[in-house]
Structure 1
Amino acid sequence: MPEKETIYILAIESSCDDTSVAVLKNNSVLSNVVANQQIHEEYGGVVPELASRAHQQNIVPVTNKALAKANIDKKQLSAIAFTRGPGLMGSLLVGTSFAKSMALGLDIPLIEVNHMQAHILAHFIDDEKMKAPTFPFLALTISGGHTQIVRVNDYFKMDILGQTLDDAVGEAFDKSAKILGLPYPGGPLIDKYAALGNPTKFEFPKPKVKELDFSFSGLKTSILYFIQKNTAENPDFIKENLEDICASIQYTIVNILMDKLKKAIKKTGIRKVAVGGGVSANSGIRKALLDAQDKLGWAVYIPKFEYCTDNAGMIGIVGYLKYKNADFVNHDISAKARYVI
């Protein structure tokens, strides 16, 4: 392949409740449009059927907007990349079907992308505000549905060293917020109130899980019992202590993540850590990682906020890297709700 060939990738992300389409010129993002679904707020969580319907409504206008913002005609596109999984099956089907149809209509290659792999490879988007890690490095991928520590040996050679055995860290944040009566999504609100509270005011137990795996279901239950016990004694307990409770919850979760990362670094000898996924936007986690960089000598890589949450830019960078390897798929490809790296 000629070195100077210009590759235009249109990328589609529809794994959960955000419809996102991006256009990349080689490894640079020209546009990265995201349509959020507000409808789930009244239900306190994502409703799969409503999510898939909203994707159907959003995908065409979002695609048009991404092309217009990038100032690219669809006939200039080199390939279509899409999230194959993991995620909600109904949501994935919308993006997969649209990607297949568009690639077929334009007679260009189709590229399937693993959503979790994309969170890791988002670090390789060409952006002056981000620095890409060198191989090998450790990736901490933390989101509403996933918690993993991955050894990244190359773009497409990755080994999962540890992962959650039950709930993901994002779910732990959101469910804790729900227990406190905070609206969905509650994770960002815990982060907001935590900044104003005392992180050691209340102590919550850390789950004892072997090796590098995680568990958050026990922590969630202990928070529930703690709130039930104290509100029974004082109905205004949450209102009077909200900031300290949030700070203590966040402090516990951040410590769980950091303890596992320290073990992973000791086990592998790799001192480069790249974080990704929606929960990597959490200020407590970012501060803990940057403190480790200063005090422990880690090399820490944190993506821009727009590449932390679910977005098509990260799907596009994987599409670009796969395009260079001519790693294309046939149109009989199907979505996968469970899709391991």
Structure 2
Amino acid sequence: MPVILGIESSCDDTSASVCVDGVILSNVIANQSIHEAYGGVVPELASRVHQQNIVPAVQQALLNAKVNKNDIDAVAFTRGPGLLGSLLVGVSFAKAFALAQNAPLVEINHMQAHILAHFIGDHKPVFPFLCLTVSGGHTQIVLVKDYFEMEIIGQTLDDAAGEAMDKTSKILGLPYPGGPLIDKYARQGNPDAYKFPEPQIPGFDFSFSGLKTSILYFIRDNVARNPDFISENMADICASVEKRIATILLNKFERAAKEYGIKQLALAGGVSANTGLRLGLQALCEKNGWESFIPAMQYCTDNAAMIAIAGYYKYLKGEFAGQEIAPMARMIF
């Protein structure tokens, strides 16, 4: 009955989780409000706040799980991808904790962990399945053959879908983080009010740079004619942008599922918390007679529970890391 401590510090959320025999007993997330004043994550500030948050987060995770630090069988941590300074805090803490407890280290790829978040709880996909992984820095369609046998069959050629939402929120003058606010306004708007282009990219790859430019020019031109255009039409703008981003993602996802003959489709990553995208995937699967899998909201954004569950499956395989391991800002499967 292995007890795994999970550590996540890839961006601006410090998180710790305890997993016992494949069951998540705690998942503590310490957010960083300091970045709101800057309209985005400031890497240096993020790493400093991680240093303040990581010990209390781990202590609280152990308390919530009613687990003593001496019971930890392994320490799983995010090695990458992410902000190097933020990763360094998590990796350093994991190495020190593991050394003090004489426990092995388990390195985890952050993007693989997002996918493995689907194995938290009872509703789990069966291999092979397709996963649409969407975050601020990544947009991927992944063929998942086993817990750690994954193949990227499509990805963004430039900007990620989450970045397109963040850019839109800035253009609209929304405070950081803008993604949840776009979601909130979109629920009140007409998704067919405005039309934005869909990039014609071959295969299963994506592109969002052109869409960002299109949204920028659309807002610029309409504000020039009516200075109150944004405030008067905020809900419709957000709903229309959200719909276009969702259709770009889901159209490719549907094509990939049909070509690979996969009937189990999963959604992962921070943007999987978006209501429009979640509803869109469910509707897509209902139309085709497929099964959809979407993690609980707390496991969509960056969290240590997904690191702990990934660490559990790696622990079972006996795949451990040494004390010489270092973080990697860029890291692929």
TM class by smaller structure: over 0.9
1:36 to 31, 36, 42: 31
Measure the CA separation in 1 of the matches of 2:319 and 2:68: 24
192-201 vs 110-119, greater mean Cα deviation: 192-201
Measure the CA separation in 2 of the matches of 1:172 and 1:26: 39
Report the 3-state secondary structure (helix = DSSP H, G, I; strand = E; otherwise coil) of the residue aligned with 1:80. Answer: strand
Once the 2 structures are TM-superposed, how far is the Cα of residue 25 of structure 1 from its aligned partner?
0.4
Once the 2 structures are TM-superposed, how far is the Cα of residue 209 of structure 1 from its aligned partner?
1.2
Measure the CA separation in 1 of the matches of 2:284 and 2:225: 40
| Corresponding letter in the other structure for 2:294 | I
Any residues of structure 2 matched to 1:1-341 within 5 Å, and which?
6-125=1-120, 127=121, 130-341=122-333
Once the 2 structures are TM-superposed, how far is the Cα of residue 293 of structure 1 from its aligned partner?
2.1
Measure the CA separation in 1 of the matches of 2:107 and 2:313: 12
| Corresponding letter in the other structure for 1:196 | Q
The answer as to whether partners of 2:39 and 2:175 remain within 8 angstroms in 1 is yes
Measure the CA separation in 1 of the matches of 2:303 and 2:181: 21
Measure the CA separation in 2 of the matches of 1:41 and 1:216: 24
Q: Aligned-residue CA RMSD in angstroms?
A: 0.7
Once the 2 structures are TM-superposed, how far is the Cα of residue 77 of structure 1 from its aligned partner?
0.5
Once the 2 structures are TM-superposed, how far is the Cα of residue 207 of structure 1 from its aligned partner?
1.4
Measure the CA separation in 1 of the matches of 2:54 and 2:45: 14
Once the 2 structures are TM-superposed, how far is the Cα of residue 268 of structure 1 from its aligned partner?
0.6
Measure the CA separation in 2 of the matches of 1:153 and 1:196: 39
TM-score by length of 1: 0.97
Once the 2 structures are TM-superposed, how far is the Cα of residue 167 of structure 1 from its aligned partner?
1.1
Once the 2 structures are TM-superposed, how far is the Cα of residue 250 of structure 1 from its aligned partner?
0.6
Identity of aligned residues (%): 62
Report the 3-state secondary structure (helix = DSSP H, G, I; strand = E; otherwise coil) of the residue aligned with 1:112. Answer: strand
Once the 2 structures are TM-superposed, how far is the Cα of residue 210 of structure 1 from its aligned partner?
1.3
**Cα deviation per residue 1:287-310 (whole Å; 9 max; x = unaligned)?**
111111221111100110011010
Report the 3-state secondary structure (helix = DSSP H, G, I; strand = E; otherwise coil) of the residue aligned with 2:192. Answer: coil
Measure the CA separation in 2 of the matches of 1:156 and 1:239: 47
Report the 3-state secondary structure (helix = DSSP H, G, I; strand = E; otherwise coil) of the residue aligned with 2:193. Answer: coil
| Corresponding letter in the other structure for 1:31 | S
Report the 3-state secondary structure (helix = DSSP H, G, I; strand = E; otherwise coil) of the residue aligned with 1:221. Answer: helix
Report the 3-state secondary structure (helix = DSSP H, G, I; strand = E; otherwise coil) of the residue aligned with 1:97. Answer: helix
Which segments of 5 or more consecutive residues in structure 2 lack a partner in the other structure?
Answer: none
**Cα deviation per residue 1:141-178 (whole Å; 9 max; x = unaligned)?**
11111110000001111100011111111111111011
| 1:3 corresponding residue in structure 2 | none
| Corresponding letter in the other structure for 1:30 | L
The answer as to whether partners of 2:254 and 2:284 remain within 8 angstroms in 1 is no
Report the 3-state secondary structure (helix = DSSP H, G, I; strand = E; otherwise coil) of the residue aligned with 1:134. Answer: coil
The answer as to whether partners of 2:12 and 2:31 remain within 8 angstroms in 1 is yes
| Corresponding letter in the other structure for 1:58 | N
TM-score by length of 2: 0.99
Measure the CA separation in 1 of the matches of 2:172 and 2:288: 35
| Corresponding letter in the other structure for 2:72 | L
| Corresponding letter in the other structure for 1:11 | G
